[in-house]
A and B are shown apart, each in its own frame.
Chain A
Amino acid sequence: MALLKLAVRNLRRNRRRTAITLAAMVIGITGMTALRGFINGQRETMVENVVRGRIGALQVHHKGYVQNVLTSPLQLDMADTPELRKKLADTPHVIAVSPRIEFGAMVSTPDKQPPPEDGSMLPEADQGKTSFFIATAVEPENEAKVTPRRTNLVKVGHMPASPEAPELVLNADFALGLDAKLHEAGAPLPPIEQQLALLAGDRDGALNGENVVLGGTFPSFSPGDKRVGLVPLVIAQRVLRMEGRVTEYGIAVDALSEVDGVKDALQAKLGPDYEVHTWSELFPFIKSLNGTQDFIFSIISAVFLAVVLLGILNAMLMTVLERTREIGTMLAVGMRRRQIIRLFMLEGAVIGTAGVMLGLAVGLALVTWFNHHGIPLPAPGATVDSIVRPYVTSRFIAGIFAGTPLGAALATLWPAWRASRLRPVEALATA
């Protein structure tokens, strides 16, 4: 205790040096905290966009579907029964189940005017267009619970009123390219020759279609996903001649950390005819991206740490040099060499503790402020603002809090050892 008092007093003797060392630590720790917070926030946003904006936390398919999704997605379907839905919904942590069919479809816009009586051709600008897109057939109400980020984005127009409503929701840029007119909610349907046609090959490849209108649009999440749209499930089942069947269930859970347990529980319940995938299995690139980010972060942290600790080491070396006579005196009056080591390491630990407290205070204040206000960071090419909300885990805070004073103490180990090795007579003789 006496040593601690001495250590604190020693640090206060050369205030400017202590302040500079402290400043370096504060900057280093603030930087690390802010960077970690930003990486965490960005990761969360990305996962949110994928999980709550596109696919759901988990997906259930017929066995082999994911592997064969490009060749025969409609053949590997499942009977959509109330029992199956109940089975899925009654699993712990599952909060919503959304039946879906994903399929390639075409949307065809009507001609802008009736064909000329004389049999001549309409000018090209007035001709309807037919375009291919990737359709996801959903029950609007259930889908809103699994991917609320997507359905909430339908700001222009509305989500289909029901699974039977003949309304499409298309990507806004895609709809603009089609020059498709938006249908007001509740308004009577236009005559069929002015409606859109949803066309698709049925399960056996035969072309089929349904008359629909454009109910709403949603903006792009990321580049390259423009030709996409949502179709009410029953309408899609009619076009595909797949009444009562689906190819996918999107599943929402109450906590993303539980997905692996939920996956095992679902797989055990469903048996070998079904396959269950978590979002990270369906989007493996996120995991590898996380790995890369963590690697880069650890390199940056190491550089920060080295700079901070070298600063402490340097300051302490200076101190030992300056206080040679003093150390000689202490040794001469009977202080043990071990106590000298302890004194200098304590000085390091004290400055480390002060630095980490100040650094964390500034860093956490920054992270909290940005968490509150959010950093708008649109993905390149996307028209949806991604708000990044930085945060750090208590584990990270605890790690920094415990590690920095320890590191600072260790950094003083060498200067402290040098001080303890001084010979009292020689030390006293130094000018």
Chain B
Amino acid sequence: MTALVLTLLAAADPDVADLLKKYDEIMGPAAFEAEATMTATREDGSERTYAMKFLKKDQDKFRIWFSEPSAVKGQEMLRNGDNLWVYIPNLKRATRVANRDNFQGGDFNNADVLRVNYAADYDGKLVDAGQPDAWCIELKAKHKETSYDSIKLWLRKSDYQPLKGQYFGTSGQMIRSATFSEHREFEKGFTRPGRIVMQNELVKTRKSEMKTSRMTLKSDPPAQRFTQADLGK
């Protein structure tokens, strides 16, 4: 009983908006440059690894360059505000894609990678985490443009680091679940998970793993990098 009261008290402690802000700061700092690989495992057991470079500025500007495999070399993605573009060398131009579309046919969707600002897209409330060392926030979509209808997020109490996430569709069905691990200090004073495994809950044999190898918090990348005209250059 005492333990229960204590957990309840502890859970009632933090402000949800504050927790969300912390999550956004960890997963999508205001400006950064990073390198990562994504390995997608498909239902037939085959794997494919993509190598990419990220650049982010402000809350809503994001750019990705793909370098591997050769099939996607030269491909780029751009997010500017609510607009999402993919540049395919074949097309020699950019074309719009949607938040909910799969990121390179894997189990992340485009918004999972390019649109990490939950505070802007979701309303949150604290729910029972089921474990003493974490808070669990239940997020509800604020508008139709979000990629999920609701999300359950577990954050470690000691340092606000994300531990796991569950992502739900409009029917209330769990579509994906994520495990955050290998938390490490990429830069002095900046720690985040180095590895995210996104499990496809609809097709259990499918999953994708995103590994960040380098991340530096850049103060100010040039604004021109986040324009359509810069794609393919």
The interface of chain A, by Cβ under 8 A from chain B, is 71-72, 75, 106, 108, 110-111, 115, 119, 121, 127-130, 192-193, 197, 199, 201-202, 204-211, 238, 241
Provided the pairs A127-B96, A206-B71 are in contact, do residues A121 and B83 lie with their beta carbons within 8 angstroms?
yes
A204 contact set on B, CB distance < 8 A: 46, 48, 69, 71, 105
Across the interface, A207 reaches (CB within 8 A) one of B96, B105, B223, B228, namely B105
B40 contact set on A, CB distance < 8 A: 205
Q: How many A-B residue pairs have CB under 8 A?
A: 88
A241 contact set on B, CB distance < 8 A: 71
Q: Does B213 contact A (CB under 8 A)?
A: no
Using an 8 Å CB-CB cutoff, how does the interface string of B37-64 with A read, 1 for contact, 0 for none? 0001011101010100000000000000
Q: Is the CB of B43 within 8 A of A130?
A: no
How far is the CB of B102 from the nearest CB of chain A, in Å?
8
Using an 8 Å CB-CB cutoff, how does the interface string of B85-98 with A read, 1 for contact, 0 for none? 01010111101111
B106 contact set on A, CB distance < 8 A: 205
B227 contact set on A, CB distance < 8 A: 115, 119
Across the interface, B75 reaches (CB within 8 A) one of A128, A129, A207, namely A207
Q: Is the CB of B101 within 8 A of A202?
A: no
Q: Does B113 contact A (CB under 8 A)?
A: no
Q: Is the CB of B101 within 8 A of A192?
A: no
Chain A residue at minimal CB-CB distance from B100: A132
Q: CA of A127 to CA of B95 in the docked complex: distance in angstroms?
A: 10
Across the interface, B91 reaches (CB within 8 A) one of A128, A130, A192, A205, namely A192
How far is the CB of A115 from the nearest CB of chain B, in Å?
5
Q: Is the CB of A202 within 8 A of B71?
A: yes
Q: Is the CB of A197 within 8 A of B91?
A: yes
How far is the CB of B82 from the nearest CB of chain A, in Å?
7
Provided the pairs A127-B83, A130-B101 are in contact, do residues A210 and B71 lie with their beta carbons within 8 angstroms?
no
Q: CA of A211 to CA of B92 in the docked complex: distance in angstroms?
A: 9
Q: Is the CB of A72 within 8 A of B43?
A: yes
Provided the pairs A130-B101, A206-B105 are in contact, do residues A197 and B72 lie with their beta carbons within 8 angstroms?
no
Q: Is the CB of A210 within 8 A of B91?
A: yes
Across the interface, B82 reaches (CB within 8 A) one of A106, A121, A129, A202, namely A121
The interface of chain B, by Cβ under 8 A from chain A, is 40, 42-44, 46, 48, 50, 69, 71-72, 75, 80-83, 86, 88, 90-93, 95-98, 101-102, 104-106, 203, 223, 227-229
Q: Is the CB of A205 within 8 A of B90?
A: no
B86 contact set on A, CB distance < 8 A: 199, 207
B223 contact set on A, CB distance < 8 A: 119
Q: Is the CB of B104 within 8 A of A197?
A: no
Q: Is the CB of A209 within 8 A of B96?
A: no
Across the interface, A206 reaches (CB within 8 A) one of B48, B81, B98, B203, namely B48
B98 contact set on A, CB distance < 8 A: 130
How far is the CB of A344 from the nearest CB of chain B, in Å?
71
B91 contact set on A, CB distance < 8 A: 192, 197, 209-211
Q: CA of A71 to CA of B72 in the docked complex: distance in angstroms?
A: 22
How far is the CB of B178 from the nearest CB of chain A, in Å?
19
B43 contact set on A, CB distance < 8 A: 71-72
Q: Is the CB of A75 within 8 A of B44?
A: yes
Q: CA of A206 to CA of B72 in the docked complex: distance in angstroms?
A: 6
Across the interface, B90 reaches (CB within 8 A) one of A111, A129, A209, namely A209
B80 contact set on A, CB distance < 8 A: 119, 121
A108 contact set on B, CB distance < 8 A: 95-97
Q: Is the CB of B48 within 8 A of A72?
A: no
Q: Is the CB of A208 within 8 A of B105?
A: no
How far is the CB of B65 from the nearest CB of chain A, in Å?
14
Q: Is the CB of A205 within 8 A of B105?
A: yes
Q: Is the CB of A128 within 8 A of B95?
A: yes
A111 contact set on B, CB distance < 8 A: 96
Q: CA of A119 to CA of B105 in the docked complex: distance in angstroms?
A: 30
Q: Is the CB of B96 within 8 A of A193?
A: no
